[in-house]
């Protein structure tokens, strides 16, 4: 069965590899996309030769005030050279002219359904922070965050905020004010689907990765869900009812997307009242945030220990 995949980012390239062939259509010979380049260590298809740094400690700030920390004995994330890694996966593929029997859309945010924002990232030199540590910084006045990830001797620094069309000046200001300076050597922005609608098949094609809406609204993480959805679709296409099998294969990711969408809306309502969602989180919630495992249960348990916070959250949930 000839399969055609449009878009060869991590999701489309991983799909062709896992399916074992097909036709890949890509508009750009190089993969140039702004990204934090962080993936959980268990992400399939990540080869160690593309890993440029590791992270085992996460520090959370409400602007300048540290509000929580999560650390692990062993690295929990790899930081990859995403461009080289993705391009290395874009191999093979049929040149066949005949019409494809199955079509797969893997064009990322350029094909997704839902609300998008622009997120910017810069590489910054001349800064020294703790090794193997990722920093998340939540500003007091916008729903979103800045990040600072180690990147093999430089730092990958970025940010994206709901309602902010061009975050580039914000990232420059963050480098000056929060990092205390540093040389910005490369800045670029890219769209990110922050309020995605999960669409696994749109009537004409299957969808994988961010094109399918499988990207986490609160963390912006899309690489691992993209690869997992590609593997799930490759398996599902071998079955009699591919769409049902695919839906089952990505059920957990889709559930996490929906939950994080609700939390993002809650964060926006809290912000309108001058509160930050991050201030309500304790270390167990932050751990689940890192492990893409946020659930109503963890939030409830954390808040039950702090009733004043629970009241604020419930007020925001019911508006």
Ligand X SMILES: Cc1cc2nc3c(=O)[nH]c(=O)nc-3n(C[C@H](O)[C@H](O)[C@H](O)COP(=O)(O)OP(=O)(O)OC[C@H]3O[C@@H](n4cnc5c(N)ncnc54)[C@H](O)[C@@H]3O)c2cc1C
Query: Rounded to whole angstroms, how far apart are CA atoms 94 and 104?
Result: 15
Residue for token pair 């991983």: 14
27 belongs to the binding site for ligand X (CB under 6 A): yes
Q: Looking at beta carbons only, is 63 or 110 nearer to ligand X?
A: 110
Task: Report the 3 state secondary structure along 82-138.
Answer: HHHHHHHHCCCCCCCCCCCCEEEECCHHHCCCEEEEEEEEEEEECCCCCCCEEEEEE
The DSSP element (H or E) to which 59 belongs, if any, is strand 57-62
150 belongs to the binding site for ligand X (CB under 6 A): no
Residue for token pair 């890993």: 51
Q: Looking at beta carbons only, is 194 or 267 nearer to ligand X?
A: 194
Q: Looking at beta carbons only, is 11 or 256 nearer to ligand X?
A: 11
Tell me if 60 sits within 8 A of 69, measured CB to CB: yes
Q: Looking at beta carbons only, is 116 or 287 nearer to ligand X?
A: 116
Residues whose CB falls within 8 Å of the CB of residue 102, separated by 6 or more in sequence, listed in order:
1, 2, 3, 4, 206, 237
Q: Looking at beta carbons only, is 24 or 182 nearer to ligand X?
A: 24
28 belongs to the binding site for ligand X (CB under 6 A): yes
Q: Looking at beta carbons only, is 224 or 269 nearer to ligand X?
A: 224
Binding characters for ligand X, 37-56, by CB under 6 A (x = yes): xxx-----------------
Q: Distance of CA 67 to CAs 59, 147, 206, Å?
A: 8, 15, 41
Structure tokens at 68: 């929580």
Q: Looking at beta carbons only, is 68 or 158 nearer to ligand X?
A: 158
What is the strand order of the sheet 77-80 is part of? Answer: 38-40, 77-80, 51-55
223 belongs to the binding site for ligand X (CB under 6 A): yes
Binding characters for ligand X, 236-275, by CB under 6 A (x = yes): ----------------------------------------
Q: Which of 63, 110, 178, 259 binds ligand X (CB under 6 A)?
A: 110
Q: Which of 55, 148, 190, 250 binds ligand X (CB under 6 A)?
A: 190
Window 200-219: residues binding ligand X (CB under 6 A): 209-211, 215
Q: Which of 119, 122, 253, 302 binds ligand X (CB under 6 A)?
A: 119
Q: Which of 68, 93, 107, 144 binds ligand X (CB under 6 A)?
A: 107
Tell me if 278 sits within 8 A of 270, measured CB to CB: no
192 belongs to the binding site for ligand X (CB under 6 A): yes
DSSP β-bridge partners for residue 71:
57
Please, what is the minimum distance in Å from the beta carbon of residue 220 to ligand X? Answer: 5
Residues forming contacts to ligand X in the complex (CB under 6 A) are 6-12, 25-28, 31, 33-39, 106-111, 119, 121, 158, 190, 192, 209-211, 215, 220-224, 226
């Amino acid at each position: 069965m000839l399969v055609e995949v449009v878009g060869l980012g991590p999701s489309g390239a991983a799909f062709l590899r896992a399916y074992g062939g097909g036709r890949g259509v890509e508009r750009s010979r190089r993969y140039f996309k702004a990204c934090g380049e962080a993936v959980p260590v268990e992400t399939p298809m990540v080869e160690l030769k593309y890993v440029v740094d590791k992270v085992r400690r996460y520090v959370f700030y409400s602007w300048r005030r540290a509000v929580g920390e999560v650390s692990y004995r062993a690295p929990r994330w790899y930081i990859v050279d995403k461009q080289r890694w993705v391009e290395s996966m874009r191999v093979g593929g049929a040149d066949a002219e005949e019409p494809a029997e199955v079509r797969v859309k893997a064009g990322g945010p350029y094909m997704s359904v839902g609300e998008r924002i622009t997120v910017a990232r810069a590489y910054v030199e001349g800064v020294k922070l703790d090794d193997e540590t990722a920093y998340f910084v939540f500003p007091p006045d916008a729903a979103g965050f800045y990040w600072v990830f180690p990147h093999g001797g430089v730092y990958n620094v970025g940010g994206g905020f709901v309602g902010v069309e061009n975050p580039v000046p914000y990232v420059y200001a963050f480098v000056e004010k929060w990092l205390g300076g540093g040389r910005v050597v490369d800045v670029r922005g890219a769209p990110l689907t922050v309020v995605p609608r999960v669409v696994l098949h749109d009537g004409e094609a299957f969808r994988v990765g961010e094109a399918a809406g499988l990207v986490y609204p609160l963390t912006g993480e899309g690489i691992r869900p993209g690869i997992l959805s590609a593997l799930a679709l490759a398996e599902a296409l071998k079955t009699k009812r591919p769409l049902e099998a695919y839906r089952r294969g990505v059920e957990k990711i889709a559930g996490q997307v929906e939950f994080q969408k609700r939390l993002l809306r809650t964060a926006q309502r809290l912000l309108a009242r001058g509160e930050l969602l991050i201030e309500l989180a304790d270390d167990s919630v932050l751990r689940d945030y890192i492990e893409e495992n946020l659930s109503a249960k963890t939030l409830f348990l954390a808040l039950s220990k702090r009733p004043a916070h629970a009241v604020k959250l419930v007020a925001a949930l019911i508006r």
